[in-house]
Structure 1
């Protein structure tokens, strides 16, 4: 669907910026492994929630709000932030390394560090729906 298409589109943008050809399996694997290493950032924040809240409608929203606040705070201090799922794909390893209790569900990873503006991938801006496409405002004057 549209979400997968956007995901593939961003991957194509990143690979093009990095000069990684589709047939260059070694370079593509290196990029994937870099993601697992949190893009070599010095800090990785793991967002978790209490397992007892798993069925709550608010849990994902709350985790998103915390993540957004974290990223905004980082950016306001000149840090870069990459919200990602690669950092948690091996949850048992993350759980053991970070000492995360079993009663916590691992939701997302956020890589934090000083951005390297010369790194080609950092210049990629993924396409997003406009606010007008993604929202409907009712009761506000135009």
Structure 2
């Protein structure tokens, strides 16, 4: 695929085939992602790539604790809830997904199951946990760089036929994630990325979120 093919074709994948992903292929994808830009070449990022039984234990722990009402313990600041047009975009893509999955507005059971899929990392065969060095905690550059490397990773995965979805639900219960992924104390857990072979029969995988136009997003100054 060309660069344009990757960027324009990539979409978030929320349903996966059960087939494992070779470690060598993931290493190849990470090697590409590591070429992402980094502020003053600090490269604050690290990746914990989890599959198999450890991932199942994370899924189970996340799900059980959330259903039991244990408060979430994300390590990277969450900020305020979305409002105004940001909230409108959030609701818009949710409506697209629920329509694709045939989930009615008043179907509480199916809606709850959909939410819990996020805490199970969407049942993907692999979860990539993105962390950054704790000594940079509080720096604006570190999360900016982690966003850049995450973008590079999901695009590299797509170019190899793999799907991903970036999510925070999979790391909401950080003690569980730390224990079963073996995350070092000098790391801050930032995001998780579900990764695997897309299941083309899963309806939500066909959803393409609507994006702002160039006219809406860009201000050009000094051009004639």
The answer to whether TM tops 0.5 is yes
Is the partner of 1:96 in helix, strand or coil?
A: helix
Shift of 1:138: 4.4
Is the partner of 1:49 in helix, strand or coil?
A: strand
In the alignment, the residues of structure 2 paired with residue 110 and residue 72 of structure 1 have an alpha-carbon distance, to the nearest angstrom, of: 12
In the alignment, the residues of structure 2 paired with residue 111 and residue 137 of structure 1 have an alpha-carbon distance, to the nearest angstrom, of: 36
Residue 97 (structure 2) pairs with residue 31 (structure 1): no
Q: TM-score, normalised by structure 1?
A: 0.91
Which residue in the other structure is 1:104 paired with?
A: 187
96, 102, 118: which one pairs with 2:201? 118
Unpaired runs of 5+ in structure 1? none
Shift of 1:137: 4.2
Q: CA RMSD in A?
A: 1.5
> What is the CA deviation profile of residues 14-53 of structure 1, one whole-angstrom value per residue up to 9, with x for unaligned ones?
1111011111111111111111111111001001111211
Which residue in the other structure is 2:147 paired with?
A: 64
Unpaired runs of 5+ in structure 2? 1-83
Shift of 1:108: 0.8
4, 10, 15: which one pairs with 2:98? 15
Q: TM-score, normalised by structure 2?
A: 0.59
In the alignment, the residues of structure 2 paired with residue 54 and residue 83 of structure 1 have an alpha-carbon distance, to the nearest angstrom, of: 21
In the alignment, the residues of structure 1 paired with residue 135 and residue 101 of structure 2 have an alpha-carbon distance, to the nearest angstrom, of: 42
Task: After TM superposition, list the pairs within 5 Å mapping 1:38-77 onto structure 2.
Answer: 38-77=121-160
| Closer, same or farther: CA 139–43 of 1 in aligned 2, 3 Å | farther
Which residue in the other structure is 2:212 paired with?
A: 129
154, 158, 168: which one pairs with 1:85? 168
- Moved beyond 2 Å, runs of 4+: 135-141
Is the partner of 1:9 in helix, strand or coil?
A: helix
> What is the CA deviation profile of residues 83-139 of structure 1, one whole-angstrom value per residue up to 9, with x for unaligned ones?
111111112211111111232111111111111122110011111112332223446
In the alignment, the residues of structure 2 paired with residue 116 and residue 139 of structure 1 have an alpha-carbon distance, to the nearest angstrom, of: 47
In the alignment, the residues of structure 2 paired with residue 114 and residue 62 of structure 1 have an alpha-carbon distance, to the nearest angstrom, of: 26
